[in-house]
Each structure stands twice: as structure tokens, then as C-alpha cells.
Structure 1
Amino acid sequence: MSLISSPRKGIVLLFLLLVTSAVFGNTFVNQWSYDDPPVVLKNPDAHSLSGFLENKRLGRPMRELTYIPDHILFGDKPAGYRVQQLAWHGVNGFLLVLLFHAFGVELPVALLGALFFLVHPLQTESVASIANRKELLALFFSLGSLLCYVKSFTSVGARRLLLRVGALIAYGGALLSNETTVTLPLVAVLWELLLVEREKRVLLRKPLLALAVSIVAGAVFIYFFRWIFSADQLLTVYSKNSFGASQSYIPLFMGAMKAFGFYLGKIILPAGLAPEYTFQLSESLWQPQALLSLTLLAGAAACAASVRRSLPLVSLGIGWFIVFWLPISDLVPVGYLAADRYMYLCLPGIGLVLAGLLQRWPKRLFVAGTCLVLVVFAGLTVVQNGYWRNEHTLWRHAVTVNPDSTWVQETVALSYLLTGDYGRAVGHAEEALRLNRFNTRAYVTLAKAQERLGNLAEAVRNYEMFASFGAMEYPEEAAQIRLYLPALRERFAAQKGLQ
């Protein structure tokens, strides 16, 4: 297979940047939303190099570094930040083309596989949400690391050494962007196993040493992230899914399996996307949806093993997906059972599966069908970008997709409160509390809406609930409410006396 010439590389890069701009260009009119304010606007580490060095907030260093020039040039205007968002995404598509080609995929087919990754609607959250630049950077450094490692096998002498050192440095950059890239070396191991002759392998040449290094790396990871193994972290995940009936691990495992099947469904039919999803959790072992997803996971692994000789690229693509799914699977409780942004590192594996199939069966009908799907996905992505226009459009769409989430209901209630629709604010806040009576933010939102409607008795009651139960999570706001309550009680007494 011939190498891609420099002029052709330039054309491919320009084409992918133009596709990215066409598909995600409507995000330039979007406002700050979701995690953008705390991560970008109110984060002193992201505003200057001196602030970054002070490191007042724990975060992803690579992401914060890239915000500094944005802040200097554009201040609090989100449109300027989006230039980097689109640039990183387009360059990642280009690196995927180079990596797929290095794996042995012909250029036109590699381009189609990369386009699948580039235009898929699941990418909207990572690209449209400036706070999620960590996903873009994590993949950029991961692809750079893999490219350096793969190219080192066709190099000799000092160049080979430099490429392997570069692979290690890029891996460090990936970890500093997002710690979920911890499993990246497993992709390199799979590549060696499937596509490298036995006598040329490096990581698999001394499997016991590789195992020992993996164990040490795993121990270091567990030490620094030991908080995720606590009972409180398990309960945090359960709370997000309005589940409080048990502290058993079974509901988490079955929920993670449901999420795996959910991802596969959204990859094939990417409709009804939202920034947050919830799942029905249960201690029961008889959960058909979870068992079906577990069967699909086992089937995917079995398929990868069975086609490793006949379709090694497909096998590698499946392995890529599973390897990057593991850190975000929530098999060890991290936070959310599912999120669109979690698929950013996983989707290149599906793109590689597609490229492998197209290379094996380059039928015109298959290629035409793939191109049609890409056009449809691109259109759906443009629509999905529109839901991220601002906080109100985002969460009012989310509640139609995921009405069973107490956090979505509470956020929608706040949206209606801020826009003066107090009746709807009350309805959504009450629904949030019906789903989870420990959602303390819902009490204060409900109290504010009731107060504006003149229902002072209900306002006092809900403010009191927030002051009592919200102090642990929101101590400053709870203290302010306690100071405000005496005046509100006097207003209520005066209102009652007039009736």
C-alpha cells in the first residue's frame, strides 16, 4: 500500500475541516450552556498562565491550557472558543484517516470510516459543549500516540526511538486531557496481536513484563482515584438514576449493561439524544434489557475473536470500542451510566469496523448506502446542534427525551423560573421531587416559583426544606435562605391576616 503524499494529505485535511465547518458551523451562534460556566467562565485556572500555575481547581490540565488563548482573545464570547472546538474535531478526523491508512486501509475507505466518526450525531455534545473539549484533546493525543507507535515499526535507528518516545509523551498528553484514556495501550496491544508479525512485536514479546507494568499502572490509577470505589460514589450514581432501594453492586452492573445496549442503539439510530440519561435500576437478576445487552457485549467480543484472521481490521475496530468503553462503562462507579460525550473515544472503533467491511466488500451498493447514511447523520447532527443553542433549548428538549430524570426536571424548572413561566416551573420542580425527594435544588426552585405566584405558605415550606437538607451541598445558599426566611414569614403572616 502506497503512502499518502504530502499534497494529498493537505487536500484530505482541508476537506475534513470543511466538512466539520459545514456540519458544526451552526454551533457558532450557540451560547454558554451545561458545564461551560463553571469549567470555562468561572475557572481562574483557564484564564491565564499564572492562574493555571496556581491550580485553584482540580481539572484537566490540557483542556485548561487551551482555554487561556481563547480567554485572552475572546473573553466571555463563546463564538471565538468554537474555532478551536471545530479545529480539534476536524484534525481528529484527519488523524483517523492517517491511522486507518497505517493500519492497512486504502485511502478512500479510510476517509469514509473517518467521516462516520466526524459527522455522527453523538459527537454534538463533545463539539457543541466547550466544557467537553477534554474529549477532543484526549482523542487527539491518543491518535498521535498510536500513529507514532505504528510508524515506529517501519522506522529504524534514532527515528524509531524518537517515535516511541513521542508515543509515550502523547500518551501522557492524553491522560492529562482525560484519564479515561488509561486503556489506550490495550489498543496498541490488539494492533500488534492482529496485524503485526510475531517476530516484530514489542509489547507482546514479553507478556509477563507487560502484565507487570499493567498491574503497577492499575495500582497507581486505583490509588489516585480511590474515591470512586467508595460507597458514597455508588450512592451518587444511584441518586442520579432516582434509585435508593439498595447499596448492592448488582443494580450498578445491570445498569452498566443497559447502558452498553443503549449506546449500540444510539450508534445505529441516533435519535432522541440529550445531555443526560437515566435508567431503571433494580436488584433483580432478571432484567431482559440488561441481559440482552450483556449478550451483545459477549457476542461482540466473540465476533472479534472469530474474525481476527479473516477480518483483522473489523476485529481491531470492535476491540477499540470495547477498550475505550471500559473506563466509561461505570462498572466502577464514576458518575453517569451513559452520556453522548463518552462515545467520542469509542466511535473511531466503529469507523474502523465500517472501513474494514468496505475494504473487504467494496460493492457499489454498499459504498452508496454508506454515503447516504453519512449524509443523513450529518443532517441529524445539524439539528442536534440547535438544541444546544442555550440553556433553555437544551434542557427543554432534554425533558422530552428523558422525563424520568429528577435532575433534568429540576433544571427545566429553573429554566422556566428564569423566563417567568412560574406555573411550569412549579410543575417540573414537583415532578423532580416526586422522582427523588432528596433533590435539594428542586426545593429552592419550587420555593422561588411559589413565592412569585403568591403562594407564600408553600414557598416558606420549601425554603425551609432546602435550608434543612441543602446545607451540606450548598452551604452558602442555605445560609442566605435562612437569613431570608424571617422576612418571608412576616409577609406570609401579613397576607394571612388580610384574608
Structure 2
Amino acid sequence: MFTKERLAFVAAMIFAVHPLAGETVNFHAGGRNTLLCASFALLSLLLYTKGKHILAVVCFTCAIFSKEFALLLPLVFLFHDYRLQQKKVRFSTYIPYFISIVCYLALRSVAVQKANFLETIRFSKQLWLTPYLVVRYLLNMIYPFQLKVMYDESTTIPLCILCLLVVILLTGIVFIYRRDKELSFSVYWFLIFLLPVVNIIPLVSNSLIADRYAYFSLMGFALGVATFICKTDKRGMTVIMVIICTVYARADIRQNNVWKDDETLFTRMANDAPEMFVGYRNLGLYYYNRSDRANAERYIAIACSKPDIPPLFLTGAASIFVETNRLDTAEELLIKALKQDSANPEPYVLLNMIYEQKGNKQLADSYLSKAREAIPAFEEEVTRMAEVFCREGEKFIAEHEYIHAKNILWRALLAKPNFVPALIDMGRLGYEQDDFATATRYLEQALALDPSNAAAKSTLNLVHQKQGKTTGSREK
């Protein structure tokens, strides 16, 4: 963009080794779309600066279909033309890019449920947090040695006012140094790509801050730092870069070790944000998947004590405690869940079952009555919920996540004890795990309820065939 190879190299090197970028690379589920988007966006920008607009539009389209961050790229094109190249702006140049945006938004509205982009835009009721978030990201870039996996941020109005002054100062730098193309462009890039993640439009996330959100803005920061470094002589630049790369590399190694396995990651998550439920929930489910019931119950109980715990997880946690016969704990969680969300049928069903097991028939029936009052189509909702659980269970079986599958199918049977699809799925789960006795029991129960069910018959035949082969191989 500036035809300065030294500047390009230094900026690229800072960006490549900066610890803040580590989460985007390590967190596959949340980062790979950002990496794809960044690759296509930068390629589009490169092609745009070379005047290859058709290829630039193709790459831009790939970028926005990777992640919506790239929707801001035309603003970069505009800045490039108007400020860097000082061209007369011709809006016809940008029409193909806006056609791509319109096509993307139209396809998105069809492909994603409740995804009308314009209708989903709602400005945050906590806009006063925006300056704080901008400054927080900037500080993480300047001093990236106390990064977190999960940020539990709290702030005050005076601190946000102070941060607002810092943001105004940054904006002033753009104006004062507007003749310094590299510096003004770096600040512009830094600020423009923070717009989607600084709570102007509320984020649907457990945390307001995440390192991966700042991946694009980090490019602007790297260019800004490189601009100052390149003002020194060659020897000074070399010394500074060696120091920066050495320090950043050590921080990278330490931070990357956090991602080596789930237990380490979730433990760090809980330590970073001890007042949030998500780290403890993940730890609890991690141990549950490994049949370590003591640690699973311990961390799930801690998660359920946090103020941000959602009612759906309270209900899911209660089903685990029902499975381990800790009915009193399950009862407490279900009552708490109902106080937060009285329209969910599952807590009523589980409470009814718990009180029946405790021999309190009157209280058990009272919860069914409450359910029918709160949810007019209660029986239909229970059936629908069981069907959803079965679909999730089948997905987990296909992915060989057998512990998850067992828990979700168990919840389906708690909701509807004689639900034939859930019984068949439980039989299939037993078949996959070579637990032939369990598989046969569930499948025979399904056939007793629905003798002509083809799925139950075929799965039971598979169980018998596999059981025969296994028995035969053992005899040999």
C-alpha cells in the first residue's frame, strides 16, 4: 500500500508474532472463520490496490461469506483512494462490492433462521462501555503479557469517561497526523475494525472481550508500531525487532500451552473469570464425559451457583444430578430454573418425577397442574422437546460423543418415559458401544410399544448379528 518494503516487513513480523493473535489460531471453532476472512480480505485489498477489480470482488465475496468483518472493507478501499492515492472518488468503482454485499445479505436471510440483517441491528443500552472496550483492546496490544482466555470485565462511569478521552485523543491523532499516511491509516484501520466488537451493537457472547475479536484491528496496531520503528536507522530497527520478537515469542509459547488440552483450557477459563459460570460448566462437562462423577458434580455445582447461569443449563445440570440419584440437589436447581423461565416444560416434568420417587404424589401432581397453567399445549411441548433431544442425541452418536448422547437421550426419556424414538436411539447407542444387553432391553421395550416399528426391528437385528460375531470371535 505504501511501496515501502521495510515498513511492510516490520508490520507483518509484529502481527505474525503478536500474542494477541494466538487465540484466533488456536481456537478452531471461533477462529478459523476469522483466518479465512482475513486471508481473502487482504488478498482483495492487494488486488484492489493493483487495479484488478474483478479478482478483488471475487476475493471480497469470499471474505464476507467467511465472516462479516469483511463488510467493512469498502471503507478501507474508500480511505485508500481518497486519502492515500488522493484520487477523485468514483462511486461506480464500489458498485460491484455493494452488489456482493446485497447478495450475501439476501442469501443469509434465506439460509439462517431469523437472520434478517437489518432487523437484527439493535443499538446497545450500554454504549458507555464502548470507549472502555476500545482502550482495553489497545492496552492488550501494547502489553500482551496478561491475556486471558475468558474476560470478566467490570468498570465504572468515571473510568469509561477517561477512556472516552483516550478515544478522542486517538481520533485527534488521525487528524493531526493526517499527512502521515502510514500513521493515519493505521489508526483508522485499528478503529474501523473494532466497530463490530465494542458493544455498539450488543454481542451474543459470554464475554464482552475476546482476543480473537481484535484480530483485524491488530493489523492496524502492527502497522502503527512499525511506522515508529522504521523511523529509526537500520541498526536501531534491527535491535528493536529482535527484542520485540524474542519477548513476543516467549509470551506466545506460554499462552499457547493453555490450549494443549481441554482440561488445561477450561481450568484457565475458570481461573480467568471466577465469577462466570462458563469455565466451571466446561470443566464439569469435561469430567462428566470421562465418567469422573465426583469432579463433574463438583464443578457443575459451582457453575450453577454463579449469577450468570442460564436456566437451560440449570435444567441440564439437574438431569445429571437425577442420573446420579442426587434428587435434593436436582430439585433445588429445577426450582431455581423455573423462577427464571416458567415456559420451559422440562423442569415441571423432572420435578413431577422427583416427587413421585420421594412418595409425595400430591406435590408431584401439583407441578403437572402448574405446567398446564403456564404452558397451554404442555403435552405437545413435551413431545416436541423429546424429539429435539433425540435429534441432538443422534448427532452425538454420529460424532461418537457417546456420553453426551447418553445424557441427552436420558433427558428425552425423563420427559417421556415411553417415547419410542428415544428408546430406539438408546438401543442404537448400546449397539455402538457393544453394550448388547442394554441395546436389546431398550429395543425390545420399543417393540413392545410399537411392534411394527421397522427401525427398532432392523437395529435389533444388527445387535444380534454383531453379538453373534463378537461371541464367535471370542470362542475362537
TM-score range, shorter chain: 0.5 to 0.7
Note the C-alpha offset of 1:214. 9.4
Counterpart-to-counterpart distance in 2, 1:294 and 1:426: 42
The question of whether the paired residues in 1 share the 8 Å contact of 2:41 and 2:70 is answered with: yes
2:161 is equivalent to residue 291 of structure 1: yes
Note the C-alpha offset of 1:390. 2.3
Partner residue of 1:492? none
Note the C-alpha offset of 1:479. 8.0
2:325 is equivalent to residue 395 of structure 1: no
Unaligned runs of 5+ in 1: 1-101, 153-162, 235-247, 488-499
Note the C-alpha offset of 1:405. 2.1
Note the C-alpha offset of 1:104. 2.6
Note the C-alpha offset of 1:348. 1.3
Of stretches 440-449 and 393-402 in structure 1, the one that deviates more from structure 2 is 440-449
2:19 is equivalent to residue 121 of structure 1: yes
Counterpart-to-counterpart distance in 2, 1:304 and 1:226: 35
The Cα offsets for residues 215-260 of structure 1, whole Å up to 9 and x where unpaired, read as 9998888875546755xx97xxxxxxxxxxxxx9432x13333322
2:189 is equivalent to residue 327 of structure 1: no
3-state DSSP of counterpart to 1:422: helix
Partner residue of 1:28? none
Query: Which of the numbers 134, 143, 150 marks the counterpart of 2:49?
Result: 150
Residues 105/179 of structure 1: CA separation in 2 closer, same or farther (3 Å cut): same
Residues 130/180 of structure 1: CA separation in 2 closer, same or farther (3 Å cut): same
Highest CA radius of gyration, 1 or 2? 2
Residues 141/275 of structure 1: CA separation in 2 closer, same or farther (3 Å cut): same
TM normalised by structure 2 equals 0.63
Counterpart-to-counterpart distance in 2, 1:114 and 1:148: 18
Partner residue of 1:250? 125
The question of whether the paired residues in 2 share the 8 Å contact of 1:106 and 1:359 is answered with: no
Note the C-alpha offset of 1:303. 0.5
Partner residue of 2:212? 341
Counterpart-to-counterpart distance in 1, 2:160 and 2:103: 31
The residue identity in structure 2 corresponding to 1:125 is: E
Q: How many equivalent pairs are there?
A: 347
Q: How does 1:37-48 map to 2 (within 5 A)?
A: none
2:286 is equivalent to residue 415 of structure 1: yes
Partner residue of 2:414? 484
The question of whether the paired residues in 1 share the 8 Å contact of 2:57 and 2:96 is answered with: no
Note the C-alpha offset of 1:418. 3.8
Note the C-alpha offset of 1:396. 0.7
Partner residue of 1:78? none
3-state DSSP of counterpart to 1:404: coil
3-state DSSP of counterpart to 1:273: coil
Counterpart-to-counterpart distance in 2, 1:139 and 1:305: 27
Partner residue of 2:186? 317
The question of whether the paired residues in 2 share the 8 Å contact of 1:261 and 1:293 is answered with: yes
Counterpart-to-counterpart distance in 2, 1:386 and 1:330: 30
TM normalised by structure 1 equals 0.60
Query: Which of the numbers 47, 63, 67 marks the counterpart of 1:178?
Result: 67
The residue identity in structure 2 corresponding to 1:287 is: I
Partner residue of 2:141? 267
3-state DSSP of counterpart to 1:301: helix
Partner residue of 2:374? none
The question of whether the paired residues in 2 share the 8 Å contact of 1:410 and 1:428 is answered with: yes
Query: Which of the numbers 279, 289, 308 marks the counterpart of 2:153?
Result: 279
The residue identity in structure 2 corresponding to 1:303 is: I
Counterpart-to-counterpart distance in 2, 1:402 and 1:192: 44
The question of whether the paired residues in 1 share the 8 Å contact of 2:18 and 2:248 is answered with: yes
Q: How does 1:40-439 map to 2 (within 5 A)?
A: 102-107=1-6, 109-131=7-29, 132-152=31-51, 163-196=52-85, 198=86, 201=87, 204-206=88-90, 224=109, 226=116, 230=120, 249-251=124-126, 253-280=127-154, 287-309=157-179, 311-336=180-205, 337-362=208-233, 364-365=235-236, 367-419=238-290, 420=292, 422=294, 425-427=297-299, 429-439=301-311
Note the C-alpha offset of 1:480. 4.2
Unaligned runs of 5+ in 2: 110-114, 347-380, 390-407, 418-476
The question of whether the paired residues in 2 share the 8 Å contact of 1:228 and 1:332 is answered with: no
Identity of aligned residues (%): 22
The residue identity in structure 1 corresponding to 2:145 is: A
Note the C-alpha offset of 1:177. 1.1
The residue identity in structure 2 corresponding to 1:178 is: K
Note the C-alpha offset of 1:112. 1.9
Counterpart-to-counterpart distance in 1, 2:2 and 2:21: 24
The residue identity in structure 1 corresponding to 2:330 is: A
Counterpart-to-counterpart distance in 1, 2:105 and 2:167: 25
The question of whether the paired residues in 1 share the 8 Å contact of 2:286 and 2:296 is answered with: no
Counterpart-to-counterpart distance in 1, 2:327 and 2:415: 11
The residue identity in structure 2 corresponding to 1:111 is: F
Residues 359/103 of structure 1: CA separation in 2 closer, same or farther (3 Å cut): same
The question of whether the paired residues in 1 share the 8 Å contact of 2:22 and 2:256 is answered with: yes
Counterpart-to-counterpart distance in 2, 1:278 and 1:226: 31
3-state DSSP of counterpart to 1:146: helix
Note the C-alpha offset of 1:450. 7.8
Higher normalized contact order (CA 8 Å, seq sep 6+, divided by chain length): 1
Note the C-alpha offset of 1:319. 0.8
Note the C-alpha offset of 1:171. 0.9
